Structure 1
Amino acid sequence: MEVKLGFGAVPKPQYVFVKKDNDYCWYMLSENDQKIPIHDKALTGVINGIEINKQVDTAFGGVVKIDLYILADKPYIVRSGKDSYFSKSLLLSLDALTSEQLRNPLTISVRPGDSNVVFCNIYDPVTYRSVGVSWDGHNEIDWQALGQKVSLKINRIQNLNQEPIQISANTTASEIHAILIAQSDTYLAQLNWTPEQGREYLQHKYGKRSRLQLTDREILDFIDYLKLQLTQSSPTHTNS
């Protein structure tokens, strides 16, 4: 992505919101919170992160969203309701993609359904082929567990020093938790944290003394914190 020198807009991610309204299915907000419809049906870029349990405060109270991070001509964050059809079709598609495919540019498209429903389709922008997903048995899917699998796969890819974890459809919740514990072990070792340092942080942050007591969401949050500490401690972030 080219860096433009001189005066310009504040370099922050552009949020994109999903909602079926007249002839568009997603939109942005202006600085005064006015809707800016996006009539294009697709956004192409590299997926570089996902949050599956993003707590957002709205005028109607707290809600849970899914935030998908995409690097294109600028960084975008596609925000959708956690239980929306868009989010569910997004998770199904991302789960079907291999780690290698997730390293390459992908096209995220919106497709209107009945009423206010919006579906998501993912395409390979080189072959023009869409990711085939099945909605068979979708009412029995554990969407929280599926979201955790997808989050683990995508966010692990961003750590270039490690191979992405291969998670199959048969991976159990306990196995996922064990994988998360092992991933945190790696970061703790790289940071040279002592067991007591870890326990003190967990007690202060989560009110728990052991990673085994953390929920999957809490340990993912802990891993993100450790990754941030590694980034800030790297030579490129130290003062000369």
Structure 2
Amino acid sequence: MVYEIELGLCNPPEPVYLYVNQGELNGEKYVWYRYDRQQDTRTPVQHRGLTGYVTELRLIAREFRGRDNKKLNIFVSADELYIVQTGIETNFAKTFLLAASQVQDFSKPLILAATPGKENVVFCRLYDPATKTRISREWNPNADWEGIIQDIQSKLDCNSEPFPEAEDYTDKLALVS
């Protein structure tokens, strides 16, 4: 098999972490951002949607402001490997999980859209890019979140190749959403 490799400047083959949070920079509003740990700065991402293949969900523990927090990492394979990281108790995580629980075939791409709510709230809307239809499930604040994650992960395991372990750069971050 012959691979065509583009020569020249490129990004290293490391995951791109996206964090969920409403903000404003120079008059431009954003709902997710990249974080540069060396410069301790946020770089807003102006696009609200990310199209790709959801390949894995991973729960991780992080210390934030002196407390232990559980984070949900959503692995999305697209032009690069993206890892969307959000607190497991956030509206973004819960609305993503409810919608993703309705997906039967993760071998097809999805659009994850970050949608601003009131104040600092961000919701996730999931779309089928082929039909442009929204995938949703009725809100349930008492949902079995761990069960939903396990159900989604079992569907992902059946439909996708696992990613090689990527270094988890967020261990070194002082600021996460």
Same fold by TM-score greater than 0.5: yes
Q: Distance in 1 between matches of 2:4 and 2:93?
A: 31
Change (3 A) 1:154 1:32: same
* DSSP-derived class of the 1:134 partner: coil
- How many residue pairs match? The answer is 158
Partner of 2:114: 110
- Name the residue aligned to 1:148: 150
Give the greater-gyration-radius structure (CA): 1
Shift, 1:2, TM fit:
7.0
1:65 aligns with 2:67: no
> Are residue 38 (structure 1) and residue 45 (structure 2) matched?
yes
SS of 2:134's partner is coil
* Higher RCO (Cα < 8 Å, 6 or more apart): 2
Which residue of structure 1 lines up, in the alignment, with residue 56 of structure 2? 49
1:86 aligns with 2:92: yes
Unaligned segments of structure 1, at least 5 residues: 161-223, 229-240
Q: Which one has the bigger strand percentage?
A: 2
Find the partner of 1:4 among 3, 6, 9.
Answer: 6
Runs (5+) with no aligned partner, structure 2: 166-177
TM-score, reference length from structure 2: 0.79
RMSD over aligned Cα atoms: 2.5
Where 2:19 maps in the other structure, the secondary structure is strand
CA contact (8 A) 1:50 1:155 kept: no
Structure 2 residue 123 is the aligned partner of structure 1 residue 119: yes
Identity %: 28
Give the whole-Å Cα distance in 1 for the aligned partners of 2:104 and 2:74.
17
Asked if the contact 2:20/2:33 (under 8 Å) is kept, the reply is yes
Q: How does 1:200-211 map to 2 (within 5 A)?
A: none
Match of 2:21 in 1: 19
TM-fit CA distance, 1:124: 1.1
* Runs of 4+ residues deviating >4 angstroms: none
- Cα 1:33–1:5 change in 2 (3 A) is farther
1:130 to 107, 130, 134: 134
